[in-house]
Amino acid sequence: MIIDLSDRKKQILDAIVSDYIDTAEPVGSFTITHHYVRDYSPATIRSEMADLEHSGYITHPHTSAGRIPTDLGYRYYVDNIMETKKVSGKEIALIRNGIRKIGTGIEEILHGTAKLISSVLNYVSVFVSFGGDKNKVASSGLSNILKQPEFNDISHARRVMETIEHDDFLTQILEEYSRKRDFNIQIGHENRFREMRDMSVVVARHNIYGINPGAIGIFGPTRMDYNRVTSILNCISQELDSIEREVINVRRD
């Protein structure tokens, strides 16, 4: 159950989520007081962390005194704390140049965009154009799964990779998650697909040339950098829209 948090607890949860995303290491009170929240004593931080854990927003692995976010903690962070990062000028130029090198055919757009996204974000990316019995699917970055410490166990990584290499399954996920929302973030156990419950899925609807229904999906660990993923996806969607409008105008002329 979502319980609203005080500003101080929000600061601490923000610190835990941000640090854990960066390091994949449980976060202790020392790290928070020295690098994130310097206005409160270590004892106050520890007390607030205990409250956050009691409320279900963070937990601690048995082998560590530090804390990590739960799925509920990530959800609260995404909905109530996270502010969308600005994409740097360098990355905007990289994305813009990358998209302009992609062809204008639907399959070229699908494959080129999926490859560009996976290279920028280092997660698995999928782009689907829905067409009833003629869905077109492009995916890229499957090997990025192996770069995530959550999947260091080879058997676990193999199960995950086998799950998300099936086009029909990926299409089903993106179709379901893009049906009611233009932008959808499903975290861990929120996923209605059992196979995805130790991962997160971010899906953005994108109609190619404005008329071909489609969706872009990002698959990664629950320790996904939601802020960066959201920013990059928004930027790529805007650049795709711009290129597609140019192509439409040229064809009309």
Q: How far apart are CA 200 and CA 219, in angstroms?
A: 6
**What SS3 state is found at 39?**
coil
The reported pLDDT for the residue numbered 140 is 94
Can you give the residue ranges of every domain in the chain? 7-81, 89-252
Q: How far apart are CA 200 and CA 202, in angstroms?
A: 7
The reported pLDDT for the residue numbered 147 is 86
Q: How far is CA 31 from the centre of its chain?
A: 25
**Alpha carbon distance, N-terminus to C-terminus of the chain:** 56
The reported pLDDT for the residue numbered 118 is 95
The reported pLDDT for the residue numbered 52 is 96
Domain 89-252 architecture: 2-Layer Sandwich (3.30)
Q: What is the mean pLDDT of each run of 10 residues along the chain (253 residues)?
A: 87 95 92 88 91 95 85 96 88 92 90 95 95 88 87 82 86 92 95 89 91 92 95 92 82 64
The reported pLDDT for the residue numbered 250 is 67
Given its phi and psi angles, is residue 237 left (phi above 0), alpha (psi -120 to 50 degrees) or beta? Answer: alpha
> Which residues of 72-188 form beta strands (DSSP E)?
124-129, 136-140, 183-187
**Stated length of the chain:** 253
Does the domain spanning 7-81 belong to CATH 1.10.10.10? yes
